[in-house]
Amino acid sequence: MSKFSIKAFSATKTLRHLLDRLISPRLFFDKRDHELIKIVNDLYDSPHSLGYTRKLYYPFFHPLGIKELSESKGLRIAYSVVHLLNSLERGDEENRIQALRGLRDEIIDTRTGPMPLNSARVLLQLMKELVRARGHYSRQLELAHDFRKTASGKPSLICRQLEKYHLLEMPEEWNQATFDDHVHDANTKGRKTPTHLIMDAWIKGIRRLRVVYYQYLEPRFVAELSEAADIMGVDIRIGIEFSARYRDRFVSLIWVSRGFMDVQSFLCFLAEPHVIEFMDKGREVMKYQEKYVLRVLDEFNSRHRERFTAETGLTLPSLDPGKFLAFVSPGQPSILHLGEYIHHMCVKYSVDKLSELSNSHGKLKGEILENLTTVKIVSSYLSPEHYPHIHCPWKPCDGPDVPERLNLPVEQLLAQIAQIHYSFKITLNLTNLKVEDVLELLYAGNGLISRLEIFNLKDYAAGHHEHIPPINELQQAINDGSLIRLKRVVRHVIHRMEKGGYSDEEDRRENLVAILHDLATFKNMYKGVPLKSRMGSDSTGRSLLAYGMGLGIIDSLPLRARREIRKHASSRLILPVHVKTYPSVTSIPVSHASGVSARLLDLLSALPGLEYLGAQKVKKWIVEEYSTTMEESGNIVTLGGGQQQMKQELALSLSLPLHEKKDKPPRKSWANLNTGVRNALKVIIGFIPAFATFALTKEWWVLAYFGAFIWFGITGLRNIVQAVLGGGGIIRSPLLRWNDYVSWERITDSLLFTGFSVPLLDYLIKTLLLDHGLGITISTNPAALYAIMATANGIYLASHNAFRGFPRAAIIGNLFRSLFSIPIAVLFSAMTGGILSGMGVAGVEDILQKWAAVISKAASDLVAALIEGPADRFQNIALRTRDYKRKFTALFDAYSRLELIFPDAGELSLFENPEKLLNSPNAEVRDLMTVIIINSLDMLYFWMYQPRARTTLKEMMGRFTPEERRIYLLSQKILEQEQHVSRLFVDGILGRRFSGPLSFYLMRYEQYLTDLKNI
């Protein structure tokens, strides 16, 4: 680097520091950012401060209902995430499930905007990062600011956040082919509870997940995992990995049960005596392995701890077995756990001593800890070769203390598995297996092995994948059904085995030749039942060598996600695996109530190419799992982060940036500007080119000095009118003012981009191109003038919408919106010219030429208001319909259960005496009445506060049957029981902050019931 470059760099750095000092910190971040951080940190320090969320009735409250008056949405989301990330205790499964259901209610079920599902994924990820960053206030501040900005749902911001956190965009239809067929949770050797695992899988976009347990399965594993998966809509499979003897080693077989109607039937199956006995034998295996781990711990203390200290320079106290088991809980102790515990103790001990070290020594020790991974500890100090006198339970041996399960060969183990349930699938784990081993095992399994784990991401990252292509060739030969091809492959396997130098070559050859002679039987084992592939990450959330959980088929991802994969190919792994995938589109006819529209649609549908006009299109992906082939250019990509991403994630989760003593100040950047300041700057930045264009090109003082204000006024007024009409218009709630419907962020964005359209339309298009270049003016050809200007405006709108990441439908809509404005602009121009001529104004055409850009702008915004205003209205009605449907479903379900409790009561007569039901000696009746009150309170809140709630309720009630309408109206009259409803608030049904909701109820329910009578 030259001296000049060094001086320039130094000067730039000095200038940057000077600007940082001059710029006030008040210009950055918002007051609400600091409030959100306080909420998160307070919850972390006192996680039971919101204990009311564990109560029976809390889940019945709608996230957009009356509980908004009690606690903020940010508080409720923060509580759920804090509880999920910090609750590992056994017996806390119900509370974790409750927290996950709260997250779904708060983020997923209330999603809005152009990218609702992707917005929800980013919000969950940001809140996770915010919780993990406790103790680093600057980072928390940036995350809180990002969280609130992301909540606006702006597509460009969502895309940037997805890229920042290494998340691929998923289709909003949620039809992507994404999966992971081998992961672990905290009940085995993973880091995450089942609920946390499901949440992370949903954030990554995984739709199918197979969680694998070792040797046995407990009902509590199934209950939590299945319920969490049901909440998030993840297709879950639960597998058990067994070890079976095969020659001089163990092979892994993963059993997945099938054929159960629901979770409850599966839990009943696990409670059957023969299943309990089978699982108990698996527990014996895990106890046997636990004894080995504890013996290794003792030997490490006595023989290897000093060597560890000498080689790493880290002081390590003696390891306590009891504390180690508590550290592992609720998982199954393993050597991996022991390695992590050693790393944890090194970190803990070093943090305690760090204040006694000098800065340089402390920084060095922090770097040593970051480089000393769990995997390095296991390989260097805990591997079996360091403990030759302790028999390793992962190597077959005979002895009185060896569990019965570990003495079973593959055939016997499969026979026992087949007896516990009639429907199941067995996957063969291919780790350390060669093609000759797989051929023998498939034949010995007599067709019971129906899946091959053809790709294990952990093995691939470790470099153990050379054995896969020959196995895949055998799999293709079996599925092909050609006896000639299968014979050729088997002969090649025998030839390959003979070159392998096996000590038991003769026995192997004898078995393989027997398979060759019985090839027809072997082929028929898989006739009609192809040998499918399974691919998994084998993720535990602990290793830095793998890419994390999740795999996806690239073809099923959105265009932007495919571009992202190509753009950052080095940070993601495209597997050398190709699976045939086809799109399948189903057209579902949409019924029309109107006879005229139905006949018109039938008439148009009869025309060629319009057969499916008006039908709802549902797109799915068909994946041929048996067609998996090993290819250099595959179509499977990892969804998880690379090594650096996972290292940062683990460091944050453990709070271990030891060499950073002081929290760095937050960045002073555009992204972190205070919302008000940023909005003001957007308006100013857009106003400058608009004002400059009018001031420098117009001679008439009105346009020169007020043209920009008129231009901005048209845009601002259109956005405000559109928002008000879309949100409620004239029939809006009296509790809401007109500006409650207006998004000032949306308006400032519109003003920013509309400002740059002035030099484009007024100067470049109207003056330079049309007037000076083509000679087109109001006098010569007004239609051509407005048509060309509208086309240019449409292209500009579509371009900046694409730049901002809007959906394709919005981009195309804005492109055509300007074309529709052409006749309106011509009409406006003619009307204005007629009015001016009638007033006797001279030079009408010259005036119209000066105002042509403003007229075109007004016409375009009028069309936008006519298109986007009803669109906002329909969107609000769709959201309220979703909210009301949820409430009506809960209401009618509760009433139906009441009818079953009182079979002798007359139909629809139960609510005639609500006091009797509220004070019933039957606890179930009282609970159901409380649920009905909760639903009524939420619908009261909808009516008073939610946009378009009144319109939606009137439309829905018009479609009710007379019975449904009567049930609804009588259920709302329960709000007249002031004493009982007020006592529910005081007793803490919404927590300690009940004054706001109680006051709202007492002041508004009478007006609400009166309004209902008038419908």
Percentage above 70 pLDDT, the chain:
87
Instruction: Indicate the DSSP class of residue 673.
Output: B
Segment 220-245, tens digit of pLDDT = 999 999 999 999 999 999 999 999 99
Q: What share of the chain is helix, strand, coil (3-state, %, to 5)?
A: 65, 10, 30
**Residue 948 one-letter amino acid:** R
Rounded-to-integer distance, Cα 518 and Cα 515, Å: 5
- For residue 603 the two structure tokens come to 């008439």
Residue 630 shares a structural domain with residue 760: no
Spell out the alpha helix ranges (H) of 669-700: 675-697
Number of domains in the chain: 4
pLDDT tops 70 at residue 375 = yes
Residue 867 shares a structural domain with residue 758: yes
Instruction: Indicate the DSSP class of residue 769.
Output: I
pLDDT tops 60 at residue 58 = yes
Rounded-to-integer distance, Cα 793 and Cα 361, Å: 63
Residue 692 lies in a domain: yes
Highest mean pLDDT among 330-339, 403-412, 900-909: 403-412
List CB contacts of 664: < 8 A, sequence separation 6 or more.
138
Segment 289-298, tens digit of pLDDT = 999 999 999 9
Residue 628 shares a structural domain with residue 729: no
List CB contacts of 241: < 8 A, sequence separation 6 or more.
212, 213, 214, 215, 252, 253, 254, 255, 429
Residue 318 lies in a domain: yes
Segment 808-821, tens digit of pLDDT = 777 777 777 777 88
Name residue 623's beta-bridge partners.
Answer: 581
Residue 593 shares a structural domain with residue 688: no
Residue 428 lies in a domain: no
Pairing of β 424-429 and β 449-456: parallel
Burial of residue 804 (number of CB atoms within 10 Å: 0-12, 13-18, 19+) = middle
Residue 942 shares a structural domain with residue 843: no
Calculate the average pLDDT of the chain: 84
- For residue 160 the two structure tokens come to 């940037």
Residue 646 shares a structural domain with residue 683: no
962 preceded by a cis bond (ω within 30 of 0): no
Give CA separation, 29 vs 74, 325, 374, in Å. 17, 44, 38
Residue 687 shares a structural domain with residue 576: no
Residue 322 shares a structural domain with residue 377: yes
- For residue 157 the two structure tokens come to 């911001």
Residue 405 lies in a domain: no
State mean pLDDT over 669-694: 87
Spell out the alpha helix ranges (H) of 421-558: 435-444, 457-461, 468-480, 483-498, 505-517, 519-524
Structural domain ending residue among the three candidates 872, 887, 920 = 872
Residue 592 lies in a domain: yes
Residue 865 shares a structural domain with residue 930: no
Structural domain ending residue among the three candidates 852, 872, 892 = 872
> So what's the pLDDT on residue 637?
94
pLDDT tops 80 at residue 918 = yes
Segment 488-505, tens digit of pLDDT = 999 999 999 999 888 889
Pairing of β 449-456 and β 581-588: unpaired
pTM: predicted TM-score of the whole model, two decimal places: 0.87
pLDDT tops 50 at residue 940 = yes
Three-state SS at 317: coil
Among 290-299, 361-370, 448-457, 548-557, the range scoring the smallest mean pLDDT is 361-370
Residue 762 shares a structural domain with residue 647: no
Domain hosting 589: range is 553-654
Better-scored residue on pLDDT, 632 or 50: 632
Three-state SS at 142: helix
What's phi and psi for 261, nearest 5 deg? -70, -40
Three-state SS at 728: coil
Residue 907 shares a structural domain with residue 824: no
Better-scored residue on pLDDT, 361 or 578: 578
CA angle at 543 for the pair 541 and 545, rounded to the nearest 5°: 130
Spell out the alpha helix ranges (H) of 208-272: 219-232, 263-270
Name the residue among 306, 300, 315, 310 with its Cα closest to residue 369: 315
Structural domain ending residue among the three candidates 619, 654, 689 = 654
Residue 518 lies in a domain: no
- Cα Rg of the chain, angstroms: 34
Rounded-to-integer distance, Cα 927 and Cα 57, Å: 8
> So what's the pLDDT on residue 48?
54
Residue 832 shares a structural domain with residue 914: no
State mean pLDDT over 786-794: 86
Residue 131 lies in a domain: no
pLDDT tops 60 at residue 47 = no
State mean pLDDT over 571-591: 85
Residue 783 lies in a domain: yes
Which pLDDT band, with edges at 50, 70 and 90, does 732 fall under? low
> So what's the pLDDT on residue 362?
46
Rounded-to-integer distance, Cα 766 and Cα 769, Å: 6
